[in-house]
Amino acid sequence: MSEDRSSNGQGQRSWLQNFMTSLTGEPKTRRELLEFIRDAEQRLQLDAEAMNIIEGALQINEMQVRDIMIPRSQMVAVKDGQQPEDFLSLIIESAHSRFPVIGENPDEVVGILLAKDMLPLILQKNAPPFNIRDIMRPATFIPESKRLNSLLSEFRVKRNHMAIVVDEYGGVAGLVTIEDVLEQIVGDIEDEHDIEEDDMDIRVISDGQFIVKALTPIDDFNESFGTHFSDDEFDTIGGIVMQRFGHLPNRNETTMLEGLEFKVLNADNRRIRLLQVKTHSG
């Protein structure tokens, strides 16, 4: 899109590029800039985290929305016309804060529902008839080709946190949030809805349901669940689960192994971090 290319013009250069080009040597390309920063890493005593953030900030100039979006098949959406009792359990289970509201089909996104807007209605006695259109917010639509630096700027200006991604034919391709963009810069962000990780590898949350760290040794997992996973190829249960998926799964993807249901609760663009495991009785 032309709007995305124009946002990378000379008048729109980042503070980092302006700063670096003011120094002796004047790096003129992204590669030269990265090489300059890496050369200066020791002299400036930059730690690994600072370097990752700098490189991440530069990387989003080259990335497009299609590179990080949550695909339509994995969107957690509410249907237009539903009553709170129809989707309240979905909101609680997913632990998301924003939900696309769809019409007759997934390509018809009519708005965005914020979970916090539901709270007053749940607590209100003798509430008037519910209509989801009375509380949903307008949806923002963006193309798959939009560059992440342009999207981040748009999120900040319009104070949006979620956008619906459309393909070249106008169909819904997925969604993207401001958190998804920021994670490309600073790494995985755990918000108030993420499951807290403690020192326990396996934690009971209810009858037949467990929270399991992906780094749990296979022997320990087998002992706890009576399973017989082999440790010939992998050392952790996360490796077994990833092999089953055949790809690095996104949050809320599920699979079955030895009669257990594995649901990904936390993952970044490098590894699975946390799993929910359900037994037959869960």
Q: What CATH number is given for 202-278 in this structure?
A: 3.30.465.10
What per-residue confidence (pLDDT) applies to 189?
55
Predicted pLDDT at 273: 83
Classify domain 67-186 by CATH architecture.
Roll (3.10)
| pLDDT tens-digit series, residues 173-192 | 999 999 888 887 776 655 54
Across the strands, what pairs with 38?
A: none
Q: How is the chain split into domains, by residue range?
A: 2-7+14-59, 67-186, 202-278
Element holding 204 (H helix, E strand): strand 202-206
Mean pLDDT confidence for 29-57: 66
11-20, 100-109, 236-245: segment of lowest average pLDDT: 11-20
Residue type, 209: Q
First-residue to last-residue Cα distance in the chain? 48
Residue 10 half-sphere exposure, CB side, CA atoms within 13 Å? 2
Joined together, the tokens standing for residue 279 give 């037994």
Q: Is residue 38 predicted with pLDDT exceeding 80?
A: no
Give the model's pLDDT for residue 48.
64
Residue type, 236: T
Q: Region 4-24: what's the mean pLDDT?
A: 49
Looking at every residue in the chain, the average pLDDT score rounds to 80
Ordered strands of the 172-177 beta sheet: 70-71, 172-177, 162-166, 141-143
Please say whether the beta carbons of 251 and 266 come within 8 A: yes
Q: Residue 142 has which token pair?
A: 């963006």
Structure token pair of residue 228: 């017989």
Q: Is the torsion defined by CA of 198, 200, 201, 207 positive or negative?
A: negative
Indicate whether 216 pLDDT > 60: yes
Is the pLDDT at 47 greater than 50? The verdict is yes
Q: Residue 95 to residues 67, 230, 252: CA-CA distances in angstroms?
A: 24, 33, 10
Region 65-85: mean pLDDT is 87
pLDDT value of residue 169: 86
Give the model's pLDDT for residue 208. 87
pLDDT surpassing 80 at residue 147: yes
Give the pLDDT band of residue 199 (cuts 50, 70, 90): low
Mean local confidence (pLDDT), 233-257: 88
Of 90 and 277, the structure prediction assigns the larger pLDDT to 277
**Is residue 224 within a helix (H) or strand (E), and if so which, with residue range?**
helix 218-225
Ramachandran angles phi, psi of 257, nearest 5°: -145, 125
Q: Is the pLDDT of residue 232 over 60?
A: yes
Does 96 score more than 80 pLDDT?
yes
Closest CA to 139 of 70, 73, 77, 64: 77
Q: Is the pLDDT of residue 193 over 50?
A: no
pLDDT at 27: 57
What is the structure's pLDDT at 51? 65
What is the model's pLDDT at position 197?
Answer: 47
State yes or no: pLDDT of 146 exceeds 60. yes
